[in-house]
Amino acid sequence: MIAMISFQNTASRIIASLFILANSIAAQTVEPRKLIGTINEESSWSADAKTIAFDSIRSGKLNMYPWRIDTCELKRITTTEANDFTPEWSPAGKEIAFVSDRTGHNEIFIIDLTGGMPRQVTKNNSDAIHPHWSPDGRQIIYCSARDNPNQASAPEGEVYEIYTIKPVGTDVKQITHDKGINTYPSFSPEGGQILFRKVLGEKNSEVFVMNGDGSSMRNLTNDPAFDGWPRWSPDGKRIVFGSNRENKTDYEIYIMNADGNSMQRLRKSGQQRNQKVWPTKHAKACLSRFL
């Protein structure tokens, strides 16, 4: 089962809804189950697959909301006037890493779900985005323009490199060094590989994998269309990603083996976007009321 965000254009606004692909991924086309409506952006499963954290602009600014799917309990956990977004659960399920612009630019913070104020992890004076925890919770991988601080946050031609950092904000290590656009990094379930999106040339977005130290970088998708927003399956054997390779106006969901073979489309059309996020193996029991 895979959580996803679907965008629908209307005459007055764009509505982004949180869905889950709840049927067998062995099928070539699966039907989604709608969980949350209104304006939602990115989502992340808790380790026990009982809660989905997502960001939403329902309050006027992007804030984060864990949603307990078996009880439908919804709780807002950030309340500043800044934008807080891209939540990522820690492996232990007690903390959420996220991005906030409360300092004037995007930095990574961590909030303890048992209480207390968020603490700042990165202090770059430039964008730090797309955080993801290592399986043991000892590192956070992210991408940053820290070595190119005069750039804006997203336009074409940007330079984003991939880094790791300890959750306490120390021991920063640069993983990529090619002065390109390297975004959406995530550790494999066993921690030895890193999956990420890389832009080749000016516009060709591809899904890449590399070793944890940045070596043996490999292009898994190798297609002139857009391929991005990749995530591992819980067992590390498959990868889910978004692509417009069959319909240039819509982003659809695809799955492939970890080596890039046996690719197939899961969701046909419907303007799907980023965050195709797999939960743990326990998800089916927790989501049974929606199946």
DSSP string, 205-266: EEEEEEETTS-S-EES---SS-EEEEEE-TTSSEEEEEE-SS-TTS-EEEEEETTS-S-EEE
Q: Say yes or no to pLDDT of 65 above 70.
A: yes
Asked whether 145 and 126 are in contact (CB, 8 A), the reply is: yes
Give pLDDT tens digits for 22-61: 444 444 444 444 444 444 567 888 988 889 898 888 778 8
**Strand arrangement of the beta sheet that strand 32-36 belongs to:** 2-9, 14-21, 32-36
Asked whether 82 and 109 are in contact (CB, 8 A), the reply is: no
Give pLDDT tens digits for 171-218: 999 999 988 899 999 999 999 999 999 999 878 999 999 999 999 999
Asked whether 55 and 87 are in contact (CB, 8 A), the reply is: yes
Q: Which domain holds residue 264?
A: 2-290
Contacts of 16 (CB under 8 A, 6+ apart): 5, 6, 7, 8, 38, 39, 40, 41, 273
pLDDT of residue 274: 44
Q: How far apart are CA 148 and CA 256, in angstroms?
A: 34
Taking phi first (over 0 means left), then psi (-120 to 50 degrees means alpha), and beta for anything else, what does residue 208 get? beta
Give pLDDT tens digits for 227-266: 999 999 989 999 999 999 988 878 888 999 999 999 999 8
pLDDT of residue 205: 96
pLDDT band at 267 (very low <50, low <70, confident <90, very high): low
Total domains in the fold of the chain:
1
Residue at token pair 């049927």: 23
Report residue 32: phi and psi, to 5°: -85, 160
> Residue 47 gets which letter from DSSP?
T
pLDDT of residue 26: 43
Q: How far apart are CA 32 and CA 39, in angstroms?
A: 17
Nearest one of 120, 121, 115 to 141, comparing CA atoms: 121
pTM check: above 0.85: no
- Write the CATH number for 8: 2.120.10.30
Q: How far apart are CA 80 and CA 65, in angstroms?
A: 13
